[in-house]
Amino acid sequence: MNTNETPNLCGLKREDFQTTINGKKTDLYILKNKLGNEVAITNYGGALVAIMVPDKDGNYANVIQGHDNIQDVINSPEPYLSTLIGRYGNRICKGKFQLNGKEYQLPINDGENSLHGGKDGFNRKVWDALRMNEETVVLNYISSYGEEGFTGEVKVTVAYTFNDDNELIIDYLATTNKKTIICLTNHGFFSLAGIANPTPTVDNVELEMNANFYLPIDAQSIPTGEIRFVEGTPFDFRTPKTIGERINDDNEQLKNGSGYDHNYVLNKKEEGELSFAARLYEPNSGRTMEVYTTEPGLQLYTGNFENGISGTHGATYPRRSAVCLEAQHFPDSPNHPYFPSVVLRPGQQYKQTTIYKFGTRKQQLTDYIQ
């Protein structure tokens, strides 16, 4: 082996991610910080394919669900597995919305609704990639006028940075030449115990959410329009509790989502501030993940529709083996005028910063008290 080469912790090979799609080349980008930890990304859909961080004892594992080659990314049974989402993250009721008095129709790809930008969203695009340094890669994509039924040509830049504080920082910037709607996010499927065959369920993972309210959904997973207080419900994570504690309660909302698949209204002192949103703690590994975002909402999804997907290096992803914490504006916002606006106009910039910060902690004192 060339002594100048440092083997990757994630074991992924660049050549396994290289192909050409419609004249554009796909590749693998491995970000490394000074602690030796890694984040691996492909420019196909901006998919996160590995996050290598240590547990409380210094043992490394991949804590995000993905695939180990480009063909499996392209053909994944879960097309949004840890990818960028756009032009509109989450659902739009019946794929319809109005703008300037005109009704627009988006592709229907989730029951009666449009989900995550339609049938051929940002998760299926080859982004232009620019490697800035060891810690940063910048992705660019131009979404043409009329793509997936959306109005306006939208130019999107997404920068991934993995710094020496073990923070994966995702910065988004978008502009348009015509009034349109936009809601961008990353659909990371996090498994803090480490992916395995099978990957453990997230039942014992503790979640804390900085949100007093959430959005109830109907049987089609569309917000009803109500903004409901979490107190006295299985949706109250204002103080940490395990995801599995109440996920199977006899509760209409949990039945509608087949578990947690709901948008939380984050507590904010002012619109657009970068603030604490959520924290995960996996007790067996001691790994933690904190989420900070400028977005008003955070979608909690517990992998309810995974069914044993084959993943990286022989791992499998059973039902409820991941937690998704998708920073975003609210689902179906164009059809709820009192939700935070998702309209983008010429001359304006859409901006978002979301941070996933990884760490560890030993067991809490209360864990030793019987």
Distance CA 90, CA 11 (A): 32
Q: Which one of 187, 206, 282, 329 is the catalytic residue?
A: 187
- Residue 274, token pair as written in the block: 């970068």
**Verdict on whether the full-model pTM lies above 0.85:** yes
Per-residue pLDDT of the chain (370 residues; tens, 9 = 90+): 343 455 799 999 999 999 999 999 999 999 999 999 999 999 999 999 999 999 999 999 999 999 999 999 999 999 999 999 999 999 999 999 999 899 999 999 999 999 999 999 999 999 999 999 999 999 999 999 999 999 999 999 999 999 999 999 999 999 999 999 999 999 999 999 999 999 999 999 999 999 999 999 999 999 999 999 999 999 999 999 999 999 999 999 999 999 999 999 999 999 999 999 999 999 999 999 999 999 999 999 999 999 999 999 999 999 999 999 999 999 999 999 999 999 999 999 999 999 999 999 976 544 544 4
Do residues 294 and 272 lie in contact, with contact meaning Cβ atoms separated by under 8 Å? Answer: yes
- Residue 349, token pair as written in the block: 């910039």
Active site residue 326: yes
What DSSP string runs through 189-248?
-B-TT---TTPPPSTT-EEEE-EEEE--B-TTS-B-S--EE-TTSTT--SS-EEGGGTTT
Binning the chain into helix, strand and coil, the percentages to the nearest 5 are: 10, 40, 50
Do residues 174 and 165 lie in contact, with contact meaning Cβ atoms separated by under 8 Å? Answer: no
Torsion of CA 275, 277, 282, 287, to 10 degrees: -20
Residue 174 makes CB contacts below 8 A (sequence gap 6+) with: 154, 155, 156, 157, 182, 184, 344, 349, 350
Q: Which one of 38, 282, 290, 326 is the catalytic residue?
A: 326
Active site residue 38: no
| Parallel/antiparallel/unpaired status of strands 128-133 and 287-293 | unpaired
Ordered structural domains, the chain, with CATH? 15-368 (2.70.98.10)
Distance CA 168, CA 292 (A): 10
Do residues 119 and 106 lie in contact, with contact meaning Cβ atoms separated by under 8 Å? Answer: no
